[in-house]
Structure 1
Amino acid sequence: MNASEIPSLESSFIEALKSLQAGEILTSRQAFESIVRDYPDCKEAWYHLGEICQKWGDFENAIDHYTHVLELDPAIQEVYNNLGVIATLQGLPDLASGYFFKALEINSEFAPAHLNLGQLFLPLGQYDLFAYHCLQALNIDASLERTYFQTGMNALLKGDFTQAEALFSVIVKYSGTLRVSALLKKTFCLQRLGRDSEALGCLDQAYELDPDGTIALMRAFYLPVVYRSEAELNQWRDQLTAKLETLEAEQANLSFRRLHEMDWYPFYLAYQGQNDLEIMQRLARLIQPHVPALSPLQEKRPREKNLRVGWVSRYFHTHSVAQCFLPVLNNFPKGTVHLLFQVPGSRQDLMPGRFQAAIAAVLPLSEVLAQAQEQIQAQELDILIYTDLGMEPFGFLLAQNRLAPLQYLLPGHPVTSGLKSLDGFISSRVLEGPDAQQHYQEPLVLLDHPLVNFPNQAQHPVIERAQTGLPAGRLYACPVTLFKLHPGFDKVFAALLAADPEAQILCFQDQSPEIAAILKTRWQELLGPDSERMHLLPWQSAERFQELLPHFDLVLDPFPFGLGTTAYLALQAEVPMVSWPGEFLRGRVVQALYQTLGIQTGLATSLEDYVTQALALAQNPELRQAWIQTLRQQKHLLFESSLGGQELAVFLQDAQARKLQQETV
């Protein structure tokens, strides 16, 4: 091509940029490559080629193109920053930091380099350097505050509370518009890290900055993840009650502008093992006046023969709540319209199962409470069912209003909501004690059978004990999340370890190392040298746990909050369990399963009886074999049973018929 035929640099560059801005990556790359062939001194073209290759993950060519830029002009801060990003992605932190610092030598107020240096130091645990560079970036570019906040939220949702706390701490120090919100999120992280005093300090600081009723409520309901002793547990409960009284006295002067930021419902309250009805009623009375009011329900849809049923939860993915309740959709009459409402924060993947064919739609709800309520009302449901209330705050706020003619609560979190807006708490006679209504604000609906329709899953081939990594000895497993381990249950551990020199007790760590350390200290103080036979194993995947189950000599059902779906897994693996049924539903699941199966061995009537039966089942092969034989004869009564689901469908149809009759009258 003659020189006269070479397109002008300006026109070629403009066309290449247009292609790049239009997202035509291949076309723009070819255009810039043509430019550098014709105009090899065009550093801008080399730079854009480097950016394109970097975005494609073609780091080798990206580095080559950026090197050409620096040969033409060694003082371009963006190039050093991009080379630092590539080095970070390649796992070369020392090289990356060198590039970022070079960019800052050129321009000490280049915010992206400070931002990237901070992000580089964060996973390395160099929190002082992380905070310094983050604050530098924020002081240069205030818009980064929201970027840091979202990065903190991402870390929090992944369960990386240490990194999330560091990110929110930077925003708190920056003192920008998100300072109070960052303090609330930092509190959440500190709670999960077992740093309760610091967490309460954050709430106090947030309240000083914004004396909002929501923050005062969060301060009142703050509870540790685990307790150091029963005395500490009771002290926290007394503090909660006292703070509630103060809030009730000051209610007229409180506003609740930050209800949407309420980071926790009193989830950990249920694990204290006491009757929570009065506390939950008081919580409901405090919040209800501040929830957006809706106009009364008006019937617009012509009456149909088929029910329209809405289901509300955050846990429709593969989760114990979904495992327990989604299969009951199969038990409704054909034509029933089932709508699943996902509260904010839900995972988008739906638990697989045959029931999916019964679902008419899955509807994500708005993060704005009033809009979410309107979304549900717009569906003109006959019945609205909350599978759980108590594990996150949004559902609790939704349930304050009547969004359907009939509203019910299932025991996904087996505690009363304290709300008057619900028409019933649906449970089972085999799950509840004789005075159960005294534990619920909602009218108690007792089915004859549990709702759970647990599949009879194929068992994994039994692997050799040597492959499991389990300790030698007799294995007593307590496979629950750590916050279920009430200090009072430690007496069982102590008695078993004292009575059985071969006993090894297995628990599973699903919380932060800091929370685990609190438990280990508690056990060391109580058990002394025997604490060496207490094992905190890593939390296991579902598949791996089922491989380990057959090697357990016994599963311990903790009290006062016992096993749930894990009890079904233990029965499938034919591993005996010992349980001391409590007063509340949350501690009566194993006894309900045993009652269904006709099993008596393993149901204790006292702490001493619990220990005696545990030792007998773990040590006596004949007793264990008799237990297994009874289980095998009756297993069909428990697994793949749709009786509870059928009862629920009939009950809801009857309730709808009664409602229509009342309206007609």
Structure 2
Amino acid sequence: MSDGDPALEEALILHQRGEFEAAQRVLRQHLEIDPNSADGLHLMALCEHAMNRNDTALEWLEKAIAQQPEEAVFLSNAGMIAFGCGRLERAEGFLERAVAANAQHAESFNNLALVRERQARFDEAAALLEKAIMLKPDFAMAYANHGNVLRALGLLDRAITEYQNAILISPMLAAPHNGLGNTFRQMDRRVEAIESFDRAISLDPGYADAYFNRAMTLAAQGETAKAEADLAQAYGLRPDHRFLVADAGLLPVIPASETEIIRWRERFIRKFEELSEGLVPISGDPEQVGAMNFYLAYHGENDCEHMEQLAAFYAKAFPDLLWTAPHCNSSDKQEGRPIRLGVASKNFGEHAVAWMIFGLLAQLPRDQFSVTAITPSGSNEGVSDRISDAVDDVLQIAANITSARQQIADERFDILLYADIGMEPFSYFLAFSRLAPVQCVTWGHPDTTGLRSIDYYISNDIAEPEDGQESYTESLVRLPGVQSWYPRLSRSEPLPSRQDIGLPSEGAIYLCPQNLIKIHPEMDANLADLLARDPEGHLVIFGASDPNWTRLLLARWKPVFGRNFERVLVLPRVSLQTFVDTIALSDVVLDTWPFGAGNTNYQTFAMGVPVVTLPGRWIRGRGTLAHYTHMGIDDCVAQSPAEFVEIAHRLGTDHAYRKEIAAQIEARSDAVLEDEVCADAFAKFLAEVRAKA
């Protein structure tokens, strides 16, 4: 700003007070006298921007830049106003000129980094921010922005350090607390995340993004009503369409009742229908507003309509998701070489998905297939040895969709198999693209994707009901055998005692080892009835990954179980071997309904322990039925909730009967473990669809 000009000084004071129209009256008089006053034109632009008249603000800035083309401050401000309006190319042009005009202007490097971040050019963004920090070591916002970029690169520990640096420099700055909260949220450290968002909001009560981020963390904790309130607050502060999308996608993690499930499912459909009317494309990352559709599968209903509606909505809201790799349009099949199979998942570490699929991948004949595991860099668990040993190569892709899909496209896969679409937002949104001529999904998450880009859902013949195709938008593939090639696990030798692992020494142990989100409210009264029938028995569960889920379930159970609630035991999360030993020490394992066991069944049958099951309507509740069918055992398959309780009670109290059933399971478990039939059929199917493509 020019020194000594009274009009400019007066206008600047008015601008700083927020009296923008008064400032402009002074500036107009000044510009009548000096129409080429660059500082006057610049300040007019800032007033227009403050009143959210950004098109006019850019016009004034361009006039100022015409007077002083090398003024980095003018160029940088023009770039940020264009950036805020979503005009990325114009912002890039202004900011590239700014850093070229003044290589010492830290703010320009910081601002250009924001553009590079939006373009998913994260390495370049990081380098620009490092330059900004070098030029201005006390630049708190640059540290916070560097944290954001490092988080996008999956470098979470380094991101935390940068946010903490920003807070040390400027303790009253809200942005680094918000960034720190997002990092903790990404690490599933939700209590710390909420504390960080609380701090950001206390520093800046108008911080809409902090309310939004806190809402999504609360939703993940199962606090759906609180999340709904925070999203309403965020939208009230800034009418951002993304907040409405996130609100529409809310679902309870641990539903309080069957009535609540019905209400939220109806709300889900209604909200997305309302948003679809007059929908225009939304800018930003769709992962930030991913719906909680993962939880639909646990309600026991046909989700085809919900998932198809959701996919159509996102395709319209984020049209950039609909991308096709160039080689998918080529007719060149490159015959005479192994089929290039890519297998994508974020859960290739010590996760049930990895256990369920690694055997099938390892069994694929290598004269016919070249197999690559695909996973985002920075995934918390990385890639387990069993996955690495089962494939020929591991491709670590970027943790953002734009870069990741290009990396996958560059590999020119013949078939892309998603192990678990729906488990988390990244793979779901990645799968909107056509990255291979043939794209399939399998049962890592046993529900339809609703995506037109996915050609086949690979499933199991016996586990699927006759009308199973009705629940899929993909073509249903019904493979023979069981659902996986799964190794036989062993108990510890010697087996620890009950007391050693925290179980009661007396009474029957009814173990329900499933993820707590599978325990449907319909089960509650029946589980309570089981304990009422067996006054010496204990119902045992494992605590959830989020302690709040456990709290919500126990709060739901307490009034239902009454005085028998004291015989509900919650074990801490344990190692795989201790988990298997706990199963081996239990009298009965209780399957959940309508979403039943998958991975746990293989572990339980290897221990020779009976699993009581009530088959569900769709495949996600019929895995145990399929296993028993293969073994030729039907004694533990109930036809009603009452029969479920009756079978479990008999197994828990009639020791001779339990011993008889356990002996049958031990003798016949080879039928479901290390199943070559499924592995052979899997390879045959992939070869056939490649030939047809």
Q: TM-score, normalised by structure 1?
A: 0.74
443-452 or 297-306: bigger deviation: 297-306
1:640 to 674, 677, 680: 674
Pair 1:438-2:467 in alignment? no
SS at match of 1:389: coil
1:594 to 628, 632, 646: 628
Asked if structure 2 preserves the Cα contact closer than 8 Å seen for 1:162 and 1:193, the reply is no
Asked if structure 2 preserves the Cα contact closer than 8 Å seen for 1:422 and 1:442, the reply is yes
**Once the two structures are superposed, what CA deviation does each residue of 1:112-145 show, in whole Å capped at 9, x if it has no partner?**
9xx9xxxxxxxxxxxxxxxxxx999759638965
SS at match of 1:464: coil
Pair 1:206-2:237 in alignment? no
2:384 to 331, 341, 351: 351
Pair 1:582-2:611 in alignment? no
Pair 1:398-2:427 in alignment? no
User: Given residue 198 of structure 1, which amino acid in structure 2 is its aligned partner?
Assistant: K
Identity %: 31
Once the two structures are TM-superposed, the CA of residue 577 in structure 1 deviates from its matched residue by: 0.9
Asked if structure 1 preserves the Cα contact closer than 8 Å seen for 2:507 and 2:537, the reply is yes
Partners of 1:628 and 1:135 in 2: how far apart? 56
Partners of 2:565 and 2:388 in 1: how far apart? 47
Inter-CA distance 410–497: structure 2 relative to 1 (3 Å threshold): same
2:499 to 463, 466, 481: 466
Pair 1:165-2:198 in alignment? no
SS at match of 1:328: helix
Asked if structure 1 preserves the Cα contact closer than 8 Å seen for 2:486 and 2:675, the reply is yes
Once the two structures are TM-superposed, the CA of residue 629 in structure 1 deviates from its matched residue by: 2.2
User: Given residue 383 of structure 2, which amino acid in structure 1 is its aligned partner?
Assistant: L
1:276 to 279, 283, 303: 303
Partners of 1:557 and 1:331 in 2: how far apart? 29
User: Given residue 250 of structure 2, which amino acid in structure 1 is its aligned partner?
Assistant: Y
SS at match of 2:392: strand
User: Given residue 342 of structure 1, which amino acid in structure 2 is its aligned partner?
Assistant: T
2:246 to 218, 229, 234: 218
Pair 1:408-2:437 in alignment? no
Inter-CA distance 255–497: structure 2 relative to 1 (3 Å threshold): same
1:333 to 360, 365, 384: 365
Partners of 1:286 and 1:580 in 2: how far apart? 35
User: Given residue 690 of structure 2, which amino acid in structure 1 is its aligned partner?
Assistant: Q
Once the two structures are TM-superposed, the CA of residue 554 in structure 1 deviates from its matched residue by: 0.5
Asked if structure 2 preserves the Cα contact closer than 8 Å seen for 1:343 and 1:395, the reply is no
User: Given residue 592 of structure 2, which amino acid in structure 1 is its aligned partner?
Assistant: P
Once the two structures are TM-superposed, the CA of residue 147 in structure 1 deviates from its matched residue by: 4.4
364-373 or 376-385: bigger deviation: 364-373
414-423 or 198-207: bigger deviation: 198-207
Pair 1:628-2:655 in alignment? no
Match of 2:270 in 1: 242
User: Given residue 346 of structure 2, which amino acid in structure 1 is its aligned partner?
Assistant: R
Asked if structure 1 preserves the Cα contact closer than 8 Å seen for 2:606 and 2:666, the reply is no
Note the residue ranges of structure 2 that are not aligned, 5 or more in a row: 1-137, 145-162
Inter-CA distance 493–155: structure 2 relative to 1 (3 Å threshold): same
User: Given residue 444 of structure 2, which amino acid in structure 1 is its aligned partner?
Assistant: G
Once the two structures are TM-superposed, the CA of residue 626 in structure 1 deviates from its matched residue by: 1.9
Equivalent positions of 1:128-277 (< 5 A) are 141=170, 147-175=176-204, 179-251=207-279, 253=280, 255-277=282-304
Inter-CA distance 368–331: structure 2 relative to 1 (3 Å threshold): same
Inter-CA distance 372–511: structure 2 relative to 1 (3 Å threshold): closer
Pair 1:457-2:489 in alignment? yes
Match of 2:36 in 1: none
Equivalent positions of 1:609-624 (< 5 A) are 609-624=643-658
SS at match of 1:413: coil
Partners of 2:345 and 2:481 in 1: how far apart? 23
493-502 or 633-642: bigger deviation: 633-642
Inter-CA distance 265–402: structure 2 relative to 1 (3 Å threshold): farther
Partners of 1:525 and 1:478 in 2: how far apart? 19
Match of 1:652 in 2: 686
Asked if structure 1 preserves the Cα contact closer than 8 Å seen for 2:455 and 2:474, the reply is yes
Partners of 2:341 and 2:451 in 1: how far apart? 20
Asked if structure 1 preserves the Cα contact closer than 8 Å seen for 2:598 and 2:623, the reply is yes
Partners of 2:315 and 2:380 in 1: how far apart? 28
Match of 2:105 in 1: none
Partners of 2:290 and 2:208 in 1: how far apart? 13
Partners of 1:495 and 1:546 in 2: how far apart? 27
Asked if structure 2 preserves the Cα contact closer than 8 Å seen for 1:192 and 1:511, the reply is no
Inter-CA distance 448–222: structure 2 relative to 1 (3 Å threshold): same
Partners of 1:137 and 1:427 in 2: how far apart? 50
Partners of 1:625 and 1:513 in 2: how far apart? 36
Match of 2:351 in 1: 319
Note the residue ranges of structure 1 that are not aligned, 5 or more in a row: 1-108, 116-133, 660-665
SS at match of 1:506: strand
User: Given residue 557 of structure 2, which amino acid in structure 1 is its aligned partner?
Assistant: W
Match of 1:118 in 2: none
Asked if structure 2 preserves the Cα contact closer than 8 Å seen for 1:212 and 1:257, the reply is no
Once the two structures are TM-superposed, the CA of residue 175 in structure 1 deviates from its matched residue by: 4.2
Q: CA RMSD in A?
A: 2.8
Asked if structure 2 preserves the Cα contact closer than 8 Å seen for 1:366 and 1:372, the reply is yes
User: Given residue 431 of structure 1, which amino acid in structure 2 is its aligned partner?
Assistant: A
Q: How many residues align?
A: 528
SS at match of 1:636: helix
SS at match of 2:395: strand
Once the two structures are TM-superposed, the CA of residue 410 in structure 1 deviates from its matched residue by: 0.4
User: Given residue 594 of structure 2, which amino acid in structure 1 is its aligned partner?
Assistant: P
Partners of 2:631 and 2:224 in 1: how far apart? 43
Partners of 1:435 and 1:621 in 2: how far apart? 39
Match of 1:497 in 2: 531
Once the two structures are TM-superposed, the CA of residue 254 in structure 1 deviates from its matched residue by: 5.4
User: Given residue 171 of structure 1, which amino acid in structure 2 is its aligned partner?
Assistant: A
Partners of 1:520 and 1:483 in 2: how far apart? 12
Pair 1:286-2:313 in alignment? yes
Partners of 1:345 and 1:581 in 2: how far apart? 38
Inter-CA distance 467–169: structure 2 relative to 1 (3 Å threshold): same
Inter-CA distance 367–283: structure 2 relative to 1 (3 Å threshold): same
Match of 1:91 in 2: none
Partners of 1:428 and 1:231 in 2: how far apart? 32
Once the two structures are TM-superposed, the CA of residue 333 in structure 1 deviates from its matched residue by: 2.2
Inter-CA distance 111–519: structure 2 relative to 1 (3 Å threshold): same
Partners of 2:139 and 2:630 in 1: how far apart? 69
Partners of 1:577 and 1:260 in 2: how far apart? 38
**Once the two structures are superposed, what CA deviation does each residue of 1:274-310 show, in whole Å capped at 9, x if it has no partner?**
1111000000000113242435533367444210011
Match of 1:48 in 2: none
SS at match of 1:603: coil
Asked if structure 2 preserves the Cα contact closer than 8 Å seen for 1:181 and 1:261, the reply is no
Pair 1:558-2:592 in alignment? yes
Partners of 1:653 and 1:384 in 2: how far apart? 13
395-404 or 617-626: bigger deviation: 617-626
Asked if structure 2 preserves the Cα contact closer than 8 Å seen for 1:337 and 1:358, the reply is no
Asked if structure 2 preserves the Cα contact closer than 8 Å seen for 1:265 and 1:390, the reply is no
196-205 or 282-291: bigger deviation: 196-205
SS at match of 1:337: strand
**Once the two structures are superposed, what CA deviation does each residue of 1:586-632 show, in whole Å capped at 9, x if it has no partner?**
11111111111111110011111111111111122222122122223
SS at match of 2:254: coil
Once the two structures are TM-superposed, the CA of residue 394 in structure 1 deviates from its matched residue by: 1.4
Inter-CA distance 348–575: structure 2 relative to 1 (3 Å threshold): closer
SS at match of 2:329: coil
SS at match of 1:625: helix
Once the two structures are TM-superposed, the CA of residue 417 in structure 1 deviates from its matched residue by: 0.3
Asked if structure 2 preserves the Cα contact closer than 8 Å seen for 1:385 and 1:409, the reply is yes
